Structure 1
C-alpha cells in the first residue's frame, strides 16, 4: 500500500469565495460525494445531510452530488476512488471501516491510500430488535447469545468491520467469547434493517444516528436495547439506557469524516476542510446533528490524518485480542 504524504496546509489567500471560504481552489464542476454503501446507512446519512446543508446554506456554488457505491463494506468504492489520483472533485464519507476492513484483508486499500479532509462528528452504536421481540434489554440478548452461539446479529458492514467490532466488543465486555459472535454482514444499514424486519436475524447493531429515523417513524416496528455512549443520548433515543447503565462496562465511538482520492491538490484540501468547518458552524447543521444524535468532533486534514494513524494502531490491538486480525496484517 502506498504511504500517505503529510499534507502541508496552505495559508489562506486574499481570494474570498462563497460564504467566506478562502482558498486558491474552488470546484469548477459538480463534486461527487460518495457513500460507499447502499442508501440508509451512516455513510449515506452523512453524505446526504452534508450535501443538503452545504446547498441550503449557500456554502458552495457547485452541487455536491450524493452517490451510492455499495459493496465489500466500502472496498468496492475505495478501489474506484483509488484510481482517481489527483482528482479535486471527488469526496467520500468515511468512518472506522476504512481502518478495520483492510486489517482483515477485505480490501487492498487503507486510509494511507487516500487524502484526509476532515473529521466531522462522533456517533455511537446501538442494538435494535423487532418491536415484538422477547428481548427487553441488552442483557436478555446477551444471555440468549450465550445459550445459543448460533443466534444471528446483523450489521451493515463487513466481517471484522465497525458493526462487527461494536458487537464483538460488547460481547467480550459481558464475558462472552467475542470470536463466537454469529455476525451476519449486509451491504448497508438499510439492508440490515430489512433483514431484521424479515426475521432473518435476531438483532441488528448499527449507528445511533442511523437508528433515529427507524425509531421516530410512526409505523416503527423496532426497539433499541441500548447505546454505546457513556451518557444517554438526546432526542428519540433519550429513553434508551446505555450499556454501562445495564451493567456492561462498554462504550464505542463511531467517528465520521470525509476523505478524497490519492494526492488531492493541497489547495483543494484546504478549500474542503475549511468548507466543512464552516458547515459545522451553521444553525442548519446543528438542527440535523441534534436530530441524528451526533456530536461535533471537527479535525482538519493534518490532525485527522494523525488520528487515523492512531486508530489503525488501536484497532489492530482490538482485532488481535478478539481473534479477528488477519495473521498477515
Structure 2
C-alpha cells in the first residue's frame, strides 16, 4: 500500500471513531533524545510524546536532549542511568548504528532493549540558495576535480547522509576516503551551517529542510529515494545516473533490565500510538513513512542493518 493511501486510511478510521484512544493514563514517560534540538530524532521524540499523551497512554513526558557521537553519549547515559525503568524510552535509528560502527563507543546498543521501529524517511541533498553550484551534476563535477573542495554537511559520522555521500563518490569514480564530510551534533547546527554557506552541500530528511526549501533559502538537488518524493519535484540519484539509494529509519529502545511485562506494555504503546490522530498528523506533516516493526522482527532488522552498513562503509573506505 502506498504511504499516502495508508495514512488516509488511518485518518479515516480515526475520524470515524474506529480507532479508540487508550483509557489508562498512568505512565510518566522519560524520553531520551540522544541529539541536540532541531533534528529528526528530536522531532520524532516530541511528536511521539505528544501522541502518547493525546492518546491517554502517558500522563506526562519528560524530554532530555543529550547530543554527540551519533547518539552514543545519550545512549551511554540511558543505559547506565535508566536500568529497569519501564517508563523510559530512547529515540534511535540508522544514524546511531553508523556512528557505533565508525566510533566504536564503550557502550553498545545491545545493552539496551529494542522496542519498535516507527518510521522511515529518505534524505534530500540541498545547496544554499546563493551557491555557485546549481545541481547535483555540478557537485559531482567539482568533487571529481577536487574532492576536498566539496564540504558535505549533515549528521554525525556514519549517518545516512554521510554514507550516501561516500556511496555517491564511489559510484562516480572518486575515492570515498577523500570526501570532506563535516558532521554536526544535531539538525539545527547542520541547518545553520548550510544557510550560512559553511558547507557546500547538506543532507538530511526532507522534514528538517522543508521550510527552508519552501522559502527558497535552500535548493534541493537530489533525493536518496527509489522514486521522487511526494510534493517535492526533485530527481532521485538514480535518475541522475548515480546508482545510490538509501533510507533513514527511526525507532525506540528501552533500558536494560526491564521485565517482560514492562517490555510488553511499551510495545503495546508503540503499536497503539499508530491509532492516534496526533501521530497520524505528525507522519503526514513530516513526510514520514509508517514502518512499524516490533519484537524479534525489529531486533533481527537492527542486526541486519548493522551488517549492511558495515559492509557499505568498508567498501567505501570509511572504516
TM-score scaled by length of structure 1: 0.85
C-alpha distance in structure 1 between counterparts of 2:155 and 2:103, whole Å: 18
In terms of fraction of residues, the more helix-rich structure is 2
2:296 is paired with a residue whose SS is: helix
2:310 is paired with a residue whose SS is: helix
Match of 1:19 in 2: 21
1:75 Cα shift? 1.3
Match of 1:123 in 2: 121
Match of 1:72 in 2: 69
Matches within 5 A, 1:199-278: 199-216=197-214, 218=215, 220-235=216-231, 238-278=232-272
1:312 Cα shift? 1.3
CA deviation map 1:163-205 (0-9, x unaligned): 3112111222233221111001111111011111222111111
1:264 Cα shift? 2.1
Match of 1:7 in 2: none
Match of 1:12 in 2: none
Over aligned residue pairs, what C-alpha RMSD do you find? 1.9
| Corresponding pairs, count | 298
Maintained 8 Å contact 1:156/1:191? no
Alpha-carbon spacing, 1:59–1:223, altered in 2? closer, same or farther (3 Å) = farther
Q: Choose which of 155, 165, 168 in structure 2 pairs with 1:167.
A: 165
Match of 1:90 in 2: 88
1:63 is paired with a residue whose SS is: strand
| Stretch of structure 1 that moved more, 204-213 or 297-306 | 204-213
Match of 1:59 in 2: 56
Unaligned segments of structure 2, at least 5 residues: 1-19
Alpha-carbon spacing, 1:272–1:27, altered in 2? closer, same or farther (3 Å) = farther
Maintained 8 Å contact 1:59/1:275? no
Maintained 8 Å contact 2:29/2:88? yes
Maintained 8 Å contact 2:27/2:57? no
1:141 is paired with a residue whose SS is: helix
Maintained 8 Å contact 1:37/1:69? yes
Match of 1:101 in 2: 99
Maintained 8 Å contact 1:75/1:106? no
Maintained 8 Å contact 1:111/1:308? no
Match of 2:39 in 1: 41
C-alpha distance in structure 2 between counterparts of 1:109 and 1:100, whole Å: 14
C-alpha distance in structure 2 between counterparts of 1:319 and 1:120, whole Å: 25
Maintained 8 Å contact 2:224/2:236? yes
Q: Does 1:285 align with 2:279?
A: yes
C-alpha distance in structure 1 between counterparts of 2:87 and 2:53, whole Å: 16
1:32 Cα shift? 1.3
CA deviation map 1:268-310 (0-9, x unaligned): 2211222122222334323221221211111013211111111
Matches within 5 A, 1:168-183: 168-183=166-181
TM-score scaled by length of structure 2: 0.87
| Stretch of structure 1 that moved more, 26-35 or 133-142 | 26-35
Match of 1:324 in 2: 318
